[in-house]
Amino acid sequence: MTETLPTNSASKSKLLPHLEWIFDDSPIPDPHGKGEAAIKFIKALRHPKSKAPGRAFQLDRWQERIIRKCLGDTLPDGSRRVNELFFMVGRGNRKTSAMAAVLMCFLVGPERRPGSTICSLANSREQAALTFKEMAGICRATPKILEAVRIQDTAKRIAYRKHDVTYEALSSDAKNAHGRTDVCAFWDEGHAETKNDLLEAIETGLNKSANTLLLSASTAGIGRNGPFWTKYEHARKVTDGRVLDETFLPVLFEAPADVDFRDEAWLFATNPGLPHGYPNLKKLRRYIERCEHSPAERESFKRLHLSVYLDGAANPEWDLAIWDEGSGPVDLDALQGRKAWLAVDLSKRIDLSAVVATIELDDELYAVHCMGFSPEAQLRKRADNDSAPYPLWAEQGWLTACPGDIVDRGIVEDYIRGLCEKFDVQEIVFDVALARELMENLEADGIPVAAFPQTLMNFAKPVDTFEDMFLNRRLVHDSPLLRWAVGNTVMMRDQNDNRRPNKARAADRIDPCVAAIMSVSRAVQGASGRSSYDTADLTDLDQFAV
């Protein structure tokens, strides 16, 4: 017996009121008939996997209304009102198929322009090939179109010869992205893109012509860096009314971060294809059962199927929403003379290093200030590799760009000495594997330094202390660099649940967070009257040399 699935239109309207227009009967403007023309064209297409009679392309009502809004809502002169669609929905809701159908409108359908180019772009060649396969499959399943086009499988290109219209699939390693002047582009699964280069090249090309369209369709992303986050952030602002932008259409089938992953009302609200048989409900229910006993599976399910944007690592140790409650300005000049505890995490000379100062405030509160250090040479390339806006942070003062190709330890030392002049520094702790010379220089001038071996047992109590401090809202911090690192942090655990930051498992850099854990824990310990410097043995730093 076939299971009857509810449409849940009322539930969608209640849970996602900003998407009510997709499911109600409200009119969608189509003054020039362009939306109707596109829908008629798409419904005349064939799809090789379609189970409909004649393998007709399955275009469900919710998809149809999004396309009508995109293509039909035109201005008095006939140009499109919407120049960009940002569409975020769970995996398995056939977003790539729907966007491929829209691209077909520009290739051989009512939106075609003689002599134009269109494209799809994705992070990898494999992902880029998916849109091409969809379009090529549609062409081969639709005889009249197959006669009119030339399909080049190796080049991932389709040409409509009569009107000289060409579609091409591009990936991040494409060499020919710059110089393009496309009239329509589809950015597929943008959450996987860490670099701006390809999207920037395509967008600047779209800007060269009037009446162009950028389509973005993706599952939810992770972290607050990269081009997808920038688009998502703008989509949220347009959705909630903070920004007025009628050229940008956000369609976010997104559950709240604190959603109960077992709540099927949210499952249906964020997966509009479910009433139509996709994705597979039985498989999703089995996935939910696995999530009961696996936090990592739970986070993955929420992102991939409830479209919850994860803020940091895929399985982060801490909730950044709580971390953000401690966000506030840290004015170092206003705090001059107060007690402070510093921690230094020196990386290899080509990577990110960090110095964190924890400064005693009133009412058992502490200010946490973080400064990062990275080589200036190829700063943008390193930013792409680490998925972090290093150039912006350097411009804003959160990161010191050291001239040349390495982190200049002299610059780090000068910064530390500057903090020692400004504050009553009680102690500076180091991950000493790379800091022997720096520690010796500071100690020679009477500055209190201490070793912080990076062992699990040595981190166990400091991690608990750091966690307690920010969970109890006793830390004030303002660094986006530190926030990024906190969101990236994952832990190594032993059988007794002792924890240590695990750099090997972290998706991105966690060095500033490691330094913050060291600094905050020393501050709490020092404020209690017990300084590790009193008992530290610094007579033989050679044991930490590498």
The listed range with the strongest mean pLDDT (1-15, 304-318, 400-414) is 400-414
- Range with the lowest mean pLDDT among 130-134, 154-158, 170-174, 438-442? 170-174
pLDDT category of residue 11 using cuts at 50, 70 and 90? low
Q: Which 8-state DSSP code applies to residue 388?
A: S
Q: Residues 6 or more apart from 281 whose CB is under 8 A from it?
A: 3, 5, 274
- Tokens representing residue 90 in the block: 């769970």
Mean pLDDT in residue range 283-302: 86
DSSP 462: H
**Predicted local confidence at residue 447, as pLDDT:** 94
CA geometry: angle at 134 spanning 133 and 137, to 5°? 80
Which DSSP category does 222 fall into?
Answer: B
User: Can the peptide bond before residue 31 be classed as cis, meaning omega within 30 degrees of 0?
Assistant: no
The 10 Å CB-count burial string (b at 16+, else e) for 452-476 is bebebeebbebbebbeebbeeebbb
Please give the C-alpha separations between residue 354 and each of 106, 375, 522, in angstroms, as whole numbers.
50, 13, 16
Residue 489: which residues within 8 A CB-CB, separation 6 or more?
312, 313, 316, 317, 318, 501, 506, 510, 513
The arithmetic mean of pLDDT across residues 238-259, rounded, is 93
Measure the CA–CA gap between 543 and 433, rounded to whole angstroms: 9
Report the Cα 446 to chain-centroid distance in Å: 45
Residue 251 has pLDDT above 50, yes or no: yes
Single out the residue of 308, 100, 92, 86 nearest to residue 199, CA to CA: 86
Residue 386, pLDDT score: 72
pLDDT at 537: 40
Weakest mean pLDDT among 239-243, 375-379, 480-484: 375-379
pLDDT in tens, 40-67: 999 999 999 999 999 999 999 999 999 9
Task: Work out whether the CA dihedral 315, 316, 317, 321 comes out positive or negative.
Answer: negative
DSSP β-bridge partners for residue 80: 74
Q: Of 10-19, 39-48, 150-159, which range is least confident?
A: 10-19
Residue (of 71, 66, 52) closest to 22 by Cα position = 66
Asked if pLDDT for residue 535 goes beyond 60, the answer is: no
Long-range contact pairs involving 441-444 (C-beta distance under 8 Å, separation at least 24): 441/413, 442/413, 442/416, 442/417, 443/538
Interval 318-330 mean pLDDT = 88
Q: Are strands 339-345 and 353-360 parallel, antiparallel or unpaired?
A: antiparallel
Q: What is the pLDDT of residues 114-141, one digit of tens each?
A: 999 999 999 888 888 899 999 999 999 9
In tens, the pLDDT along 409-428 reads 999 999 999 999 999 999 99
pLDDT at 313: 55
| Closest by Cα among 309, 63, 317 to 191 | 309
Stronger pLDDT, 173 or 146, i.e. the higher one: 146
Helix locations, 159-294, DSSP H:
197-206, 227-239, 264-270, 281-291
First to last CA, the chain: 68
pLDDT over 70 at 542, yes or no: no
User: What integer pLDDT is reported at residue 322 of this predicted model?
Assistant: 85
Q: What is the DSSP annotation of 232-269?
A: HHHHHHHHTTSS--TTEEEEE----TT--TT-HHHHHH
Model confidence pLDDT, tens digit, residues 351-363: 789 999 999 999 9
Can you give the pLDDT at residue 55?
95
Mean pLDDT of the chain: 88
Q: Which residue has the higher pLDDT, 381 or 501?
A: 501
